[in-house]
Amino acid sequence: MTEAVLVAFYAPLKSPHHPSPSGDRTMARLLMKALTAGGFESVLASTLRTFDGAGDAAVQERLRTESLAEADRLIAAYKDVSAALRPRLWFTYHVYYKAPDWVGPRVADALRIPYVAAEGSRAGKRAGGPWAIGHAAAEAALDRAAAIFVMTEADREALEQARPAAQRLIELPPFIDMNEWHAVNPPACARHSPVRLLTVAMMRRGDKLASYHILAEALDRLGTAEWTLDIVGDGESRGEVERLFSRFGARLRWHGQLDDRARLAALYGQADLFVWPAVNEAYGLVFLEAQAFGCPVVAGAYGGVPSVLRDGKTGVLAPPGDAGAFAASIEALIASPEQRSALGTAARRFVMEERGLAQAAERLRSALMPLVGEAP
């Protein structure tokens, strides 16, 4: 049996070991699992975080200095061991102007190995603004990549326009690992009266809180429809979210942050409809999780959200930020258990057949093995 190819993995936005849960942390973990399933030995190279959310040039300069020092440390460590123990490829997840990668390209150049990225985003409008330093670094890293795995169509146009001649853009849609959920044979789409709605989202200021505001407004518009809502999530804005939804009284069930997957799986399996406005979401793994349990979704059509459901087939996309349209979509599905059932059945099939770990592992293997073969 041949030895697995060693891959250095890095996530500058949020390490897979970061203590705070998020979709980025989950996807970083999933990518490492998919690499392993694809025949690679995925090793976390660094936990250094380069995120600057405020657009502070001094912070970006500090992060650049720390990153270059980290790269030099790794280069020295790798060169101090035999070639068999060195990575043969560098893989960075999520590169953009707020979280650039100064580490990977420098190490890859020193070791003369391929550098690839997944979920790379280009934003030309940031070239001269407060994130100019981070933007330049992100562009340089993406230019250096032999291949970029495109996870949503929202990123593709800018990546295509700036693509170096030798660079490959490879589709790698968001995915989940169903083995983590112990849901091989979940029940058919639930049918309750009142209809059970579910949302799963952290309670943070900014886009998450904006989504909760839209959801509350949409629920206000449901008229005589019979429904309850389970809310899974916690965070700094929980008090504000609770006040926002207090007018719905006993219709709501608060579950806080659930780290127990069995309990969260039970909620997915019992829900009739998953609802989340998804303000400025990159895509939202919770949508895939819900669909895996045969639960159709109503989502706001922001960013890459259309990449994680089939509009009209596994769920419904509402115009971004439109509480009225969001409410109308929910109301129509509350009124039609037959449509919910059809969407739920298709949703389950979509995730199992197209968005599982095995499919992602095969995409990674077929794209990366030729690159490794080309490495000196």
pLDDT digits (tens, 9 = 90+) for 47-73: 999 999 999 999 999 999 999 999 999
For domain 179-354, give the CATH number.
Answer: 3.40.50.2000
227-240 in b/e form (b: 16+ CB < 10 A) is: bbbbbbbbbebbee
The answer to whether residue 332 scores a pLDDT higher than 50 is yes
pLDDT band at 1 (very low <50, low <70, confident <90, very high): very low
Tell me the per-residue pLDDT of 95-138, one tens digit each, with 9 for 90 and over: 999 999 999 999 999 999 999 999 999 988 888 899 999 999 99
C-alpha separations of 3 from 39, 84, 202, 361 in Å: 9, 10, 40, 17
Average pLDDT over residues 3-8: 92
Give the pair of three-digit tokens for residue 32: 């490492």
pLDDT at residue 2 in the model: 61
Query: Are 272 and 230 within 8 A, CB to CB?
Result: no
Number of other residues whose CB lies within 10 A of the CB of residue 276: 25
Query: Are 321 and 299 within 8 A, CB to CB?
Result: no
Secondary element (H or E) of residue 85: none
Under CATH, what is the fold of the domain 5-175+356-374? Rossmann fold (3.40.50)
Query: Are 52 and 59 within 8 A, CB to CB?
Result: yes
Range(s) of the chain covered by CATH 3.40.50.2000: 5-175+356-374, 179-354
Rounded Cα distance, 52 and 56, in Å: 7
Give the pair of three-digit tokens for residue 266: 């039970």
pLDDT at residue 259 in the model: 87
> Which pTM was predicted?
0.92
Tell me the per-residue pLDDT of 174-218, one tens digit each, with 9 for 90 and over: 999 999 886 545 555 567 889 999 999 999 999 999 999 999 999
Bigger pLDDT: 374 vs 19: 19
Give the pair of three-digit tokens for residue 67: 């990153």
Mean pLDDT, rounded, of the chain: 94
Tell me the per-residue pLDDT of 224-271, one tens digit each, with 9 for 90 and over: 889 999 999 999 999 999 999 999 999 999 999 998 889 999 999 999
pLDDT at residue 376 in the model: 47
